[in-house]
Copies of this chain bind each other. A is one copy, B any other.
Amino acid sequence: METKQTDIKLKTPVRCIVKLGGAAITCKNDFEKINESNLVEVSSQLREAMMSGSSSGPVLEMDWSKRPGISETSVTVDAFKEQEAFGYNSFVVIHGAGSFGHFQASKSGVHKGGLNKPLVKAGFVATRISVTSLNLEIVRALAREGIPSVALSPFSCGWSTHDRNIASADVSTVVNALDCGFVPVLHGDAVLDESLGCTILSGDVIISHLASHLKPQFVVFLTDVFGVYDRPPSEPNAVLLREIAVREDGSWFVVKPTFEGTDKQVEISVASHDTTGGMVTKISEAAMIAKLGIDVYIVKAATEHSLIALSGKLRDEIPEDWLGTVIRYVP
């Protein structure tokens, strides 16, 4: 991750970078289908979290485009004229692909590179079409909640990789958008790779990159389960890991829960997890962010728990009945 970035000066510090997990906002087993009810609830919670501290007027929609079944726009522009300009907490949104892009990428092997092969080139085009379709729908859903969202596609931003690691990812466009009061919406994307020709830049890598440059107060991962478990959450004895501490060297250990009567901490088997969704990879990536002194919350989307996480209340105190995983630096 060597980027020639000058020091970033934001007008207002970034409060939160939030990842909308692909599994949370799409129907995973239904090709290119958005989980509409989750997306609406997530957008509404984001609005609430962003506006906290501001007067909460009526929701003024910013998506004035045609919607399926409605031929004309229904927006009443006049309402905006009466509204006072207001500030709100600065957020960046990154979303995964879920049931968008995955088919196109895996059929063609875009992540392995080789743009001279017609199949890979076509897959690159097809993957971008799919993920940008999803991106557009998410931007629209946020705009309908009155969130001034703007699409920033990593490929369009000129971001590229070298052997799958970020080689060039100038964040100035993100910073300029934030400084103007917009909410940048990025996503996992097919990008050019200096050594492979092309590859997939995942949403999680984008978050790490942005977190290290923008230094948000906290990072929230919205997923389709309550947090990180010690084994696949579908297994009957799976234990939700409430709190994980990260050491200076990036290693981490489970603080909560502890098993009473023993001083043995919860152990996670690398083998069992890396075959079932890369839970360890996920914790390691979150640990990289936490190491910067940025709290990371992994929580189920569209629940009371996600609203608490997004509001930033967990920074002061973690309620006993809050369900989710906190990953935090312990000096």
A314 interface contact, C-beta 8 A: no
Q: Which residues of B contact A103 (CB under 8 A)?
A: 64, 73
Tell which of A17-25, A174-182, A291-299 binds the partner.
A174-182
Contact of A125 among B62, B71, B157, B198 (CB under 8 A): B62
**How many angstroms from the CA of A244 to the CA of B151 in the assembled complex?**
41
Contact in complex: A143, B121 (CB < 8 Å): no
A115-136: CB near B (< 8 Å → 1, else 0) gives 1111101111110111011001
Contact in complex: A129, B139 (CB < 8 Å): yes
Contact in complex: A64, B107 (CB < 8 Å): yes
**How many angstroms from the CA of A157 to the CA of B173 in the assembled complex?**
8
A262 interface contact, C-beta 8 A: no
Contact in complex: A130, B64 (CB < 8 Å): yes
A40 interface contact, C-beta 8 A: no
A4 interface contact, C-beta 8 A: no
Given A63-B126, A136-B129, A173-B150 contact (CB < 8 Å):
no
Q: Which residues of B contact A90 (CB under 8 A)?
A: none
Q: Which of A61, A124, A150 has the most CB of B within 10 A?
A: A150
A51-81: CB near B (< 8 Å → 1, else 0) gives 0000000001111111000011101010011
Q: Which residues of B contact A124 (CB under 8 A)?
A: 148, 150, 182
**How many angstroms from the CA of A136 to the CA of B181 in the assembled complex?**
25
Contact in complex: A122, B148 (CB < 8 Å): yes
Contact in complex: A116, B85 (CB < 8 Å): yes
Contact in complex: A180, B152 (CB < 8 Å): no
Least CB distance, A60 to chain B, in whole angstroms: 6
A45 interface contact, C-beta 8 A: no
Contact in complex: A157, B155 (CB < 8 Å): no
Least CB distance, A29 to chain B, in whole angstroms: 13
Q: Can you list 23 residue pairs at the A/B interface with Cβ under 8 Å?
A: A31-B66, A60-B122, A61-B122, A62-B125, A63-B125, A63-B126, A64-B123, A64-B129, A65-B126, A65-B129, A75-B126, A85-B116, A115-B181, A122-B148, A124-B150, A125-B143, A126-B143, A128-B139, A133-B136, A153-B156, A157-B157, A157-B173, A158-B176
A41 interface contact, C-beta 8 A: no
**How many angstroms from the CA of A81 to the CA of B122 in the assembled complex?**
11
Contact of A62 among B63, B117, B126, B143 (CB under 8 A): B126
Q: Which residues of B contact A192 (CB under 8 A)?
A: 176-177, 180
A204 interface contact, C-beta 8 A: no
